[in-house]
Amino acid sequence: MKTSHVVAVAAAAVLSAAIPALAEASSTTTASATATAAVAKSWGPYYASAHRAKAAGKLRVDVADPSAVIPNGPATVSGKITDSTKNRSCGVAVFRITYLKADGTLPFKHRSYWACGYHKTKAFHFSDGKVYELELKVCSEGRKSAPSITCLYGGTWKVLWVGR
């Protein structure tokens, strides 16, 4: 009986010492998981071929959990696109925004901003939520409702931010 009583007292002592340590570790984990990381930076200038258009600006991304498998957060982008052609073409800044959906997939969408006219500059500003990657392409082409296939799929995208 005495041996079992000693074991029970020893077990109680170990648990009483361990529980505060576990509680502290739990609160530390919670605090680090809820920490946010803000990324703010300038980007550009980036040019279309033959310097026919130029884009530059700033971005800010607030990542809620930088240690997440797919880090993402709301992004705000601002900048200017300038057309440098004397003909009828326009300068186009096309953003490819890859975002996190609730089901865990990473689709993308495009946003485009146009400046038409020699040395014409157009300012832009947009925000988007749950952004995982933000890319830019600068093109020079005739005014349309959307960027051409050549603009979207020719050349390389410039990575402005990626949540890795």
Q: Answer yes or no: are the C-beta atoms of 65 and 96 closer than 8 Å.
A: no
Which CATH fold topology does 35-162 show?
Immunoglobulin-like (2.60.40)
Give mean pLDDT, residues 113-133.
97
User: Which positions ≥6 away from 78 have C-beta within 8 Å?
Assistant: 57, 58, 59, 123, 124, 125, 126
| Cα separations in angstroms, 164 against 13, 71, 73, 104 | 44, 7, 12, 16
Alpha-carbon distance of 103 to 158, in angstroms, equals: 27
Residue type, 105: T
Alpha-carbon distance of 39 to 127, in angstroms, equals: 14
Residue 92: closest CA among 128, 52, 119, 60: 52
pLDDT at 164: 80
Tens of pLDDT along 16-67? 444 344 344 433 333 444 567 888 999 999 999 999 999 999 999 999 888 9
For the chain, the helix, strand and coil percentages under 3-state DSSP, each to the nearest 5: 25, 50, 25
Give mean pLDDT, residues 122-134.
97
For the chain, give every domain's residue range. Answer: 1-34, 35-162
User: Which positions ≥6 away from 7 have C-beta within 8 Å?
Assistant: none
Q: Is the pLDDT of residue 87 over 70?
A: yes
pLDDT at 37: 84
